[in-house]
Structure 1
Amino acid sequence: MKLAEALALRADSARRIEQLRTRIMSNARHQEGEEPAEDASALLNEVGAVIGEFETLLRRINRTNTAAHIGPQEGTITDALARRDALRLRHSVVTAAADAAAGGNQGGYARQLRSELKMFSALPVAELRARADELARELRELDVRIQRANWEVDLLE
């Protein structure tokens, strides 16, 4: 099985666990004289089995991510995932700074009278936008390399 397939199974398991949690909560109590729509105990047993499979998948995915090297710059998949998370944070912060410096968070406020205070940008908006574009490009390229590795790397036991 390829890593990408295991990641898809992990996502399916997570959705299944959440669905079972919702069903358990809906059927955990009922009125006297009424029967719940589903057996909450059976659902608890089912979610226990799904969580066990989920844990096994996570262990195998983590082992694979730690062992699989995808390139000299990226290192392991785990290293690349950490880099991707950091790039996302950097992009978010730089974009937010550019928006704030440009007055994008002022909700349509505009100076109407000469006596009102004039606002000045404390940051170079154009440079921040260019930096955000560069970070977005790096992020896209790294994400492609990670996705490629997900389809090329076999899942470890």
Structure 2
Amino acid sequence: MKLAEALIERADLQKRAAQLEERLVRNLQVQEGELPSEDPLELLNELLSVVTALELLLPRIHRANLEARLPGGLSLTEALTRRDLLDLRLKVLRRAAATASERQNRYSNSEVKIVAVIPARELQRLIDPLAKQRRELEAEIQQTNWLTELPE
């Protein structure tokens, strides 16, 4: 199995676990004399089996992330960390740029005028190369995910 396939399976299992948890909680209590719409014990057992499947899959994904290398030599773990940090930088810069470009409506000259301390265009000059780095890194990560076999 390829790492990319394992990541898809992980996402499916995580969604399934969340759905089962929600169904379990909804069926744990009923009005006296009523029956739940689904058997809570069956839901709990199914949830526990999904968690067991995740317990077997996650360590294999982590090992693959440590062992696999991107074309530039970074491990997948290092690349994922770099991607997360690029995402953080981009989030902050994009929010700052959006705030700096907000227009203030003033109804008279006597109202306080609000101005951006850092011009939005300067922030955008920082955003563009980071966004390009992020896109290129994501492409390398995805390529590596599809080329990497999941360890046993």
Q: TM-score, normalised by structure 2?
A: 0.92
1:22 and 1:82 map into 2 onto residues whose CA distance is 31
1:85 and 1:26 map into 2 onto residues whose CA distance is 35
Does residue 20 (structure 1) correspond to residue 15 (structure 2)? The answer is no
Aligned equivalent of 1:43: 43
Task: Look up the SS of the partner of 2:70 in the other structure.
Answer: strand
Contact kept? 2:104, 2:114, Cα under 8 Å: no
1:141 and 1:18 map into 2 onto residues whose CA distance is 32
Does residue 151 (structure 1) correspond to residue 146 (structure 2)? The answer is yes
2:116 and 2:142 map into 1 onto residues whose CA distance is 39
- 1:16-69 deviations in Å (ceiling 9; x for gaps): 111111111121122222222221112111111110101211111011001111
- 1:106-143 deviations in Å (ceiling 9; x for gaps): xx532332222333321132121121111111111110
Aligned equivalent of 2:68: 68
2:98 and 2:126 map into 1 onto residues whose CA distance is 13
Task: Look up the SS of the partner of 2:135 in the other structure.
Answer: helix
User: Gapped runs of 5+ residues in structure 2?
Assistant: none
1:45 and 1:125 map into 2 onto residues whose CA distance is 54
Deviation >3 Å, runs of 4+: none
User: 1:13 corresponds to which letter in structure 2?
Assistant: L
* Number of equivalent positions: 152
